[in-house]
Chain A
Amino acid sequence: MHVPFCARACDFCNFYQERPDRTGIQDYLAAMEREFALYPPARPFETVFWGGGTPGLLKAEDLRRLGRIIQNADTRHLREWTVEMAPGSVREDKLESLREMGVTRVSMGVQSFDDGLLERLGRPHTRRQVDQAIDLIRKLEFPNWNLDLMFALPGQTLTQWEADIRAAMEREPPHLSTYCLTFEEDTTLWVRLQKGQVHKRSEVEEAAFYERAWDLLASGGYGQYEVSNFARPGYSCIHNLNTWRMHEWLGYGPSASSQLGQRRWTNAHDLEAWATGVATARPARVDEVALTPNLLAQDCVVFGLRMNEGIDLCHLQKRYPDADWPALDTLLAQLVEEALIEVTEARWTLTRSGRLLADAIGSAVIGAMDADALAPAS
Chain B
Amino acid sequence: MPDLKKTRNFCIIAHIDHGKTTLSDRLLEATNTVEMRNMKEQLLDSMDLERERGITIKCHPVTLLYKAPDGEIWTLNLIDTPGHVDFSYEVSRSLAACEGALLLVDAAQGIEAQTVANCHLAMKQDMVIVPIINKIDLPGADIDHARSQLEEVLAIPGDEAVLASAKNGIGISDIFEAILARMPSPRWYDFPQARALVFDCVFDAFKGVICFVRIFSGSIRRGQQIVLMSDGTRTEVKEVGVFSPKMRPIDSLDPGSVGYIVTGIKEVADIRLGDTITLADAPAKEMLPGYQEVRPMVFAGLYPIDTSDYEKLKVSMAKLRLNDSAFVYQPESSVALGFGFRCGFLGLLHMEIVVERIRREYDLDIISTYPSVVYLVTKSDGEVVEVQNPVHLPDPSEIEQVEEPMIRATLHLPNEYIGDILALVMEKRGMVENTETIDAQRVMLTALLPLNEIVVDFNDRLKSITRGYGSMDYDFAEYQVSKLVKLDILVNGEQVDAFSSVVHTDKAAAKGRMLCAKLKEILPRQLFKVAIQAAVGSNVVARETIGALRKDVTAKCYGGDISRKRKLLEKQKEGKKRMKQIGKVAIPQEAFIDILKSTN
Partner-B contacts on A (CB < 8 A):
2, 15, 49, 51, 179-182, 203-204, 206-207, 210, 226-228, 240, 243-244, 249, 251, 255-259, 264, 266, 287, 289, 299, 302-303, 306, 334-335, 338, 340, 355-364, 366-367, 370, 374
List of B residues within 8 angstroms of A357 by Cβ: 527, 549-553
| Residue in B555, B568, B577, B584 whose CB lies within 8 Å of A374 | B577
Can you give 23 A-B contacts (C-beta < 8 A)?
A49-B559, A51-B558, A244-B557, A251-B560, A257-B559, A257-B562, A266-B560, A266-B563, A287-B563, A287-B567, A289-B563, A303-B562, A334-B584, A338-B527, A340-B527, A355-B553, A356-B551, A357-B549, A357-B550, A359-B552, A359-B568, A360-B549, A367-B576
| Residue in B528, B555, B560, B572 whose CB lies within 8 Å of A363 | B572
- A264-B562, A355-B553 known; 17 other A-B pairs, CB under 8 Å? A179-B556, A203-B552, A207-B550, A227-B553, A251-B560, A256-B560, A259-B559, A259-B562, A264-B563, A266-B560, A287-B563, A299-B566, A302-B569, A357-B553, A364-B527, A366-B573, A367-B572
Which residue of A179, A204, A364 has the most chain B CB atoms within 10 A of its CB atom? Answer: A364
Query: A352 CA to B53 CA in the complex, in Å?
Result: 58
List of B residues within 8 angstroms of A355 by Cβ: 553
A228 (CB) vs chain B CBs: closest residue:
B555
- Is A206 a contact partner of B551 (Cβ separation < 8 A)? yes
Residue B460 lies at the interface, judged by CB distance under 8 Å to chain A: no
List of A residues within 8 angstroms of B436 by Cβ: none
A114: shortest Cβ distance to chain B, in Å? 19
The B548-597 residues at the A interface (CB cut-off 8 A) are 548-560, 562-563, 565-570, 572-573, 576-577, 584
Q: Which 4 A-B pairs have the closest CB atoms?
A: A363-B572, A207-B551, A360-B552, A358-B553
| Residue in A243, A266, A361, A364 whose CB lies within 8 Å of B558 | A243
- Is B569 a contact partner of A362 (Cβ separation < 8 A)? yes
List of B residues within 8 angstroms of A361 by Cβ: 527
- Is A240 a contact partner of B555 (Cβ separation < 8 A)? no
A16: shortest Cβ distance to chain B, in Å? 9
Known contacts A207-B551, A357-B549, A359-B569; is A243 also within 8 Å of B559 by CB? yes
- Is A356 a contact partner of B577 (Cβ separation < 8 A)? no
A153: shortest Cβ distance to chain B, in Å? 12
Query: A378 CA to B559 CA in the complex, in Å?
Result: 35
- Is A210 a contact partner of B551 (Cβ separation < 8 A)? yes
Query: A338 CA to B568 CA in the complex, in Å?
Result: 24
List of B residues within 8 angstroms of A179 by Cβ: 555-556
A295 (CB) vs chain B CBs: closest residue:
B566
Chain B, interface residues (CB within 8 Å), range: 20 to 34
- Is A338 a contact partner of B548 (Cβ separation < 8 A)? yes
List of A residues within 8 angstroms of B570 by Cβ: 366
Query: A370 CA to B576 CA in the complex, in Å?
Result: 12
Query: A378 CA to B370 CA in the complex, in Å?
Result: 29
List of A residues within 8 angstroms of B560 by Cβ: 2, 15, 51, 251, 255-257, 266
Query: A166 CA to B23 CA in the complex, in Å?
Result: 85
- Is B554 a contact partner of A182 (Cβ separation < 8 A)? yes
List of B residues within 8 angstroms of A207 by Cβ: 550-551
Which residue of A289, A303, A338, A360 has the most chain B CB atoms within 10 A of its CB atom? Answer: A360
Query: A240 CA to B556 CA in the complex, in Å?
Result: 11
B584 (CB) vs chain A CBs: closest residue:
A334
Query: A129 CA to B426 CA in the complex, in Å?
Result: 75
Query: A358 CA to B555 CA in the complex, in Å?
Result: 10
A373: shortest Cβ distance to chain B, in Å? 11
A249 (CB) vs chain B CBs: closest residue:
B559
Known contacts A257-B562, A370-B573; is A359 also within 8 Å of B554 by CB? yes
B597: shortest Cβ distance to chain A, in Å? 27
Query: A356 CA to B558 CA in the complex, in Å?
Result: 18
A285: shortest Cβ distance to chain B, in Å? 11
| Residue in A2, A182, A356 whose CB lies within 8 Å of B556 | A182
List of B residues within 8 angstroms of A244 by Cβ: 557
Query: A228 CA to B562 CA in the complex, in Å?
Result: 15
List of B residues within 8 angstroms of A2 by Cβ: 560
Query: A21 CA to B573 CA in the complex, in Å?
Result: 43
Query: A287 CA to B567 CA in the complex, in Å?
Result: 10
Query: A249 CA to B561 CA in the complex, in Å?
Result: 13
A356 (CB) vs chain B CBs: closest residue:
B551
A370 (CB) vs chain B CBs: closest residue:
B573
